[in-house]
Structure 1
Amino acid sequence: MILHARGILAEWEASCGHLPRLEIGGASVLWAAPWRDDPAVQSDTAIPVVDRRLGGTFTCAPFGQDDLDGGPPHGLAANAPWQVTRSSPSSVSATRRIGRGHLTARIAVRHDHPVLYQTHTLDLDRRCTFAHHPIIHAAAGAWLSANARAILTFDAEAPFLLQGRRLTKLPTEIPTGPHEDFATLTGATGLGWTALARLAEGDTIVTLRQTDQLPVTNLWFSDGARGGMWRNARGLIGVEGAICAGAEGFAAALSDNRVAADGVPTALPPGRHVIPHAIVRIAGCHRISGVVLAPGALRLQTGVETLTVPFDETHFA
């Protein structure tokens, strides 16, 4: 299903809930796995659907391996068909049952807004973790900035970050070259934002969330350090606004864990949760230092200037 408006195009797949294609201002924003077109991979049922159809952005409920209920990695939302309930040229609404409740999505684009707007409503009957999982491609590295106060690192396959630490200085340069790493940003308040200035692509991608709902951002870095079908996965940066225990798993999120020890909630309680999220593209590489909502606009401070882009501020009302 193609969504489009002036200056923006997105493709969403009802078969698995992934949005593998997002083009803003003529530029590709998200990465989709090359093996999505490989018949051998697509017919291999030993590979979870979330990996076979890996593309762009999707939601996770729960996040990561389901070591409590035995569901697929990242939950049914990323592995099973959705039911479309309403669609138009510029928006789609869809729903599906998840392991611990029900999830409804609304995804929309607007004329002249360089923004993918998403709202997910969870009706939970038990505690659950949740995350957005946009995968951004940066062919020659990127500058990273965020309104976080700390970064927690976890044991990884081929890290470039110091492992098992709590660091108060965020990495600002994402390198190129073989690595496979994972970390969790904590301590943001208010409107949570994470920005990646993509050096080769010449633009800046900003993700937005409400920190009282999604208090952390998981960062997944993958650049050619894996074998098998992953060997051509290079320059990938997952920017995953979430409520979870980082890399510690679903069971850990409902008990003691490192993220909770940092004063951060790691699971949503039962009940209804309406969770807005946005992905924004800005032309040019910018070191973002602040993001503010204004009437009809998003204002981004770079330290030397304020950039203003059209934005529906009521999305986060």
Structure 2
Amino acid sequence: MGAGEDFVTVEARGISVTLDLAVGHIRDLTVDRDGRRVAPLHRAPWFEESHADDAPAHLKRLSGDFLCAPFGLSDIDGSPAHGWPANSAWDHVETRAIDGGARAVFALQKQVMGARVLKEFTVRDGHPFLYQRHLFQGGEGAVSVGLHMMVSLPQGGHLSFSPKRFAQTPAEPLEPDSLKGRSLLAYPARFSDLKHAPREDGGTANLTCYPLDRNHEDCVMMPEAPGRELAWGAALRHREADLVLSLKRPEDFPSTLLWLSNGGRYYSPWNSRHRGVLGLEEVRTYLLSGHKASIAPNDFSEQGIPTSIGLTPSGEIDLRQAIGIMPVPAGWDVVTEVEAGDGELAVRSDVGELSVPYDAAFVLHR
């Protein structure tokens, strides 16, 4: 374990993760495997630029992955967009050795609706996964939550997912003012075929192939189809021959939100240079409608799709995810299935299969 004024790094054989304590963002996640080093998570190009000082903290130090509570608009507790977990300081509580790895615990200095929030990272020797969980202890009321992972896709790639109920764009485009930016999808729109997402111009876009176009900023939410114990999302980077996986239990995060950011914001600090970025975000929220709308009855919750967590003074909420990053054989084009076995995760593609060490019990709360 290494430490600096603003960053803490946790390591096991073949994997390291660094947390930015100022805002609780993952600064870096690197895997060394099969003689290759893989580090595909995104970091904003303005990270250390002084002109970004006026930006919210989560935007100024935008990197990797971070917890949002609430997710998006904060219109109840007075916190910034994406909440205090994404915008304020965390304390490094401890890092300790475990059998075959290491575990670190961090505590948010502020509270969320009266709840203490803990972040826990576990890394294991030879496992190409960051096992992370977030604990909400105590508190009162309800709040939307999400994990805001961002993948860098400068040369594009293929996206695939476990089955979803449907896909839906929010009520309004991310960039409705053509002088400030551009969104290309239709808003609002609900559809079932990711290869034929409705565009604003009447055409369709293939959401499984990234990028969709140049100079656009778009968002799509996809609730999980019922019946799966393990849900997953995959971003396969063809040119780099590597893969990013998000693994979750649908009971923790009932939906996946795609943020497609490819130069579609023209104003500072974006300045049309935030390109090739995919937000592969696991969420429990109602579209981009904010805290208040997510805890009220809404179109999703009425269909049995949870959009918030409920906090109680004596309760604890435990939310988990595994982020996997790994090299893949040359020639892989599409991930077709992900299946957890006894100590392994099988990743199947259109041309082959690989197996990697994996702690299946972690994500499933076993």
Which TM-score bucket, shorter chain as reference? over 0.9
Does structure 2 retain, via aligned residues, the 8 Å contact 1:138–1:200? no
> 2:245 matched to which residue of 1?
206
CA separation of 1:262 and 1:304: change in aligned 2, threshold 3 A? farther
AA partner of residue 262 (structure 2): D
Q: SS where residue 308 of structure 2 aligns?
A: coil
Which 5+ residue runs of structure 1 have no aligned equivalent? none
Does structure 2 retain, via aligned residues, the 8 Å contact 1:152–1:166? yes
AA partner of residue 152 (structure 1): Q
Distance (Å, rounded) in 1 between the aligned partners of 2:150 and 2:111: 22
Answer yes or no: is 1:136 the counterpart of 2:148.
no
> 2:353 matched to which residue of 1?
306
How far did 1:110 drift?
1.7
> 1:122 matched to which residue of 2?
136
Does structure 1 retain, via aligned residues, the 8 Å contact 2:286–2:294? yes
> 1:268 matched to which residue of 2?
309
Answer yes or no: is 1:219 the counterpart of 2:243.
no
Matched pairs, number? 314
Answer yes or no: is 1:229 the counterpart of 2:269.
yes
Alignment RMSD (CA, Å): 1.8
Distance (Å, rounded) in 2 between the aligned partners of 1:224 and 1:134: 18
The structure whose Rg is larger is 2
Q: TM-score, normalised by structure 1?
A: 0.93
Does structure 2 retain, via aligned residues, the 8 Å contact 1:138–1:201? no
> 2:323 matched to which residue of 1?
279
1:28-69 CA distance string (max 9 Å, x none): 22111122211232xx3x421111111111101110110122
Answer yes or no: is 1:193 the counterpart of 2:232.
yes
Distance (Å, rounded) in 1 between the aligned partners of 2:302 and 2:220: 15
AA partner of residue 40 (structure 1): H
> 1:151 matched to which residue of 2?
167
Q: SS where residue 65 of structure 1 aligns?
A: coil
Distance (Å, rounded) in 1 between the aligned partners of 2:151 and 2:300: 24
Distance (Å, rounded) in 2 between the aligned partners of 1:29 and 1:111: 20
Deviates more, 1:28-37 or 1:206-215: 28-37
Answer yes or no: is 1:288 the counterpart of 2:335.
yes
Distance (Å, rounded) in 1 between the aligned partners of 2:258 and 2:298: 18
Does structure 2 retain, via aligned residues, the 8 Å contact 1:146–1:195? yes
Which of the residues 146, 165, 175 maps onto 2:189? Answer: 165
> 2:66 matched to which residue of 1?
58
Distance (Å, rounded) in 2 between the aligned partners of 1:98 and 1:32: 26
Identity of aligned residues (%): 29
Distance (Å, rounded) in 1 between the aligned partners of 2:76 and 2:324: 34
AA partner of residue 339 (structure 2): V
Answer yes or no: is 1:109 the counterpart of 2:118.
no
Does structure 2 retain, via aligned residues, the 8 Å contact 1:94–1:105? yes
Does structure 2 retain, via aligned residues, the 8 Å contact 1:3–1:10? yes
Which of the residues 98, 101, 118 maps onto 2:111? Answer: 98
Does structure 1 retain, via aligned residues, the 8 Å contact 2:10–2:95? no
How far did 1:224 drift?
0.8
Q: SS where residue 124 of structure 2 aligns?
A: coil
Which of the residues 22, 25, 29 maps onto 2:29? Answer: 22
Which 5+ residue runs of structure 2 have no aligned equivalent? 1-7, 176-181, 195-206
Distance (Å, rounded) in 2 between the aligned partners of 1:206 and 1:27: 13
Distance (Å, rounded) in 1 between the aligned partners of 2:165 and 2:346: 21
How far did 1:127 drift?
0.7
AA partner of residue 110 (structure 1): R
Q: SS where residue 120 of structure 1 aligns?
A: strand
Does structure 2 retain, via aligned residues, the 8 Å contact 1:144–1:197? yes
AA partner of residue 15 (structure 2): I
> 2:92 matched to which residue of 1?
84
Q: SS where residue 141 of structure 2 aligns?
A: coil
> 2:201 matched to which residue of 1?
none
> 2:48 matched to which residue of 1?
37
Distance (Å, rounded) in 1 between the aligned partners of 2:24 and 2:340: 29
Distance (Å, rounded) in 2 between the aligned partners of 1:305 and 1:233: 33
> 1:257 matched to which residue of 2?
298
Distance (Å, rounded) in 2 between the aligned partners of 1:304 and 1:260: 39
Answer yes or no: is 1:238 the counterpart of 2:279.
yes
